[in-house]
Structure 1
Amino acid sequence: MDEKINLDFEDFSTEPFLESLVKDLQDQDPVFLIGIFVAIAVVVITIVFLKYFLGGQTTRSAVLLVGLCDSGKTLLFSRLLLGKFKRTQTSITESSAVYKAKNERGTSWTLIDLPGHESLRLQFLDRFKGSARAIVFVIDSAIFQKEVRDVAEFLYFLLTDSVISKNAPTVVVACNKQDITMAKSAKLIQQQLEKELNTLRVTRSAALTSQDGSVGGSVHLGKKGKDFEFSQLPMRVEFVECSARSSKGEDGEGDTEALEKSLARL
């Protein structure tokens, strides 16, 4: 018959073990101990680096095409992937494909065209923003003056989003439809957007504060106490000019060279 054994955990005191360990460490060469601590520190730093730096870069491999309706996103999507004209219609869901950047590294990104309709664009942006390596914000340069307020509001939402601000993807503002005579230049568009965003920042902050005494969960745009400039943002912002459509019609070539150079630097 098995004999019942009662164990008294006090018999297994850790004090003698700790005293012995301390004595052994004291007897070791200080140089040897320093080497051990340095080795442990290197291992810990390496693990953190691999987890947060390399891991973050590999997961954020998407390039998002966003913008208002009829800005030319879907045709630009086709030009970047196929290099040719393709008839398009208003998108109600996302389209995605592998895009190979024109650089020596042969880098590949997942190019995702998001719907531009007002009722859809924010929910699709919310779905894909966490994986964005870069965001291409497409603007219709020909009617920019008419849409400047709507463009600024969408851009404001994007730039003050907490996830986007934390991940800091490259933002490329693609001033599309430069083949049209009345198209505004990228420089002029940048200047007007900075002014409009500066105004929006004041009105939005005032509205949120008056509601509950706080500024809400979004990130403050730019630097407090200074007029807004894109250079104040945590992410790199570029303005480029492009034409998804050719002035010669469907058979002509578009001009996406500046945009492709930006994507090649990601």
Structure 2
Amino acid sequence: MSKDQSVLVEQAKTFIRADDSQIFGVIVAVIAVFITLVLFALWRRRKNARRGILVMGLCDSGKTLIFSHLLYKRYVMTHTSIKENIGDYLIKNDFLRIIDIPGHERLRGKFFDQYKSICRGVIFIIDSVTFQKEIRDVAEFLYVLLTDPVLAKSNTRFLIVCNKQDQTMAKGSNVIKSLLEKELNLLRVTKSHQLTSIEGSSNNVFLGMQNKDFEFSQCSPIVVEFAESSACNKDAVSELDSVFKWLSSI
């Protein structure tokens, strides 16, 4: 081999090595980007996994006002919501995602189905003043939530907040709890009869215990607690201490 040929061979080898090095660098960069995307996706998934606290209840029960007090510690004028309100509630070195679900019966089911997979807890707001005339609607709404298989499987915690306690005609939480247990017991019988009259079976869990009058203590693995609040008060942050404590414990 002549000297010129040797030089050409060496130049070719150098070019190939350089080319291989560039290809290797591109491959490493692609792998690094892929791993970064996977880790980011896992981080996002972990970040959002069961961090949701759903604020639910009938229209005009005070959900959005309580949402504002929890997230921003301020009083705001509210109106009936047609879409969800979402905000992050910082707790220790972590956060919970508070989601205020519209109370209208035509909207709440859609939003509940959308967010229940990330639900860790439910804050269910009751208007203590109008409760007696709305008890059937409140009980039916609660029945849907308490028998939902996704919430039951996730051991979801419930805080039923009896709101507007500053008003004269408001029912106390103990009275509301007792009346709800009786109404849910009647509703359970009605639902059971409806299921036996149609073909197929429901995927919903049974509410309470068979052959026993319903009590909230029977909702295991779901845990149900009660609290009182006066969110309409412009200084209501202090009136929501029980809610703040519940969020800290969840």
Name the TM tier (shorter chain): 0.7 to 0.9
For the 8 Å contact 1:62–1:131, the answer to whether it is kept is yes
For the 8 Å contact 1:205–1:215, the answer to whether it is kept is no
For 1:75, which of 61, 65, 70 is the aligned residue? 65
3-state secondary structure, aligned to 2:82: coil
Q: Percent identity?
A: 48
| 1:164 and 2:143 aligned | no
Name the residue aligned to 1:182: 169
Matches within 5 A, 1:22-101: 59-101=49-91
3-state secondary structure, aligned to 2:130: helix
The alignment's TM-score, normalised by the length of structure 2, stands at 0.78
For the 8 Å contact 1:98–1:109, the answer to whether it is kept is yes
- Pairs aligned (count): 204
For the 8 Å contact 1:67–1:139, the answer to whether it is kept is yes
Q: For the residues of structure 2 that align with 1:196 and 1:79, how far apart are their CA atoms?
A: 31
Matches within 5 A, 1:223-234: 223-233=209-219, 234=221
Shift of residue 253, structure 1, vs aligned partner: 3.7
Gaps of 5+ in 2: 1-44
Name the residue aligned to 2:206: 220
Q: Deviations over 1:8-61 (max 9, x none)?
A: xxxxxxxxxxxxxxxxxxxxxxxxxxxxxxxxxxxxxxxxxxxxxxx9897100
| 1:196 and 2:183 aligned | yes
Q: Deviations over 1:199-219 (max 9, x none)?
A: 00001010111112x542211
Name the residue aligned to 2:245: 261
RMSD: 1.6
Name the residue aligned to 1:19: none
Q: Deviations over 1:109-163 (max 9, x none)?
A: 0110010001001111111011011100010011110110000000001111111
Q: Deviations over 1:144-200 (max 9, x none)?
A: 101100000000011111111111211000111111111111111111111100000
- Cα gap change, 1:215 to 1:229, in 2 (>3 Å): farther
- Cα gap change, 1:56 to 1:166, in 2 (>3 Å): farther
| 1:132 and 2:83 aligned | no
Gaps of 5+ in 1: 1-54
Structure 1 segments of 4+ aligned residues over 4 angstroms from their partners? 55-58
Q: Deviations over 1:92-112 (max 9, x none)?
A: 1111011124xxx34420110
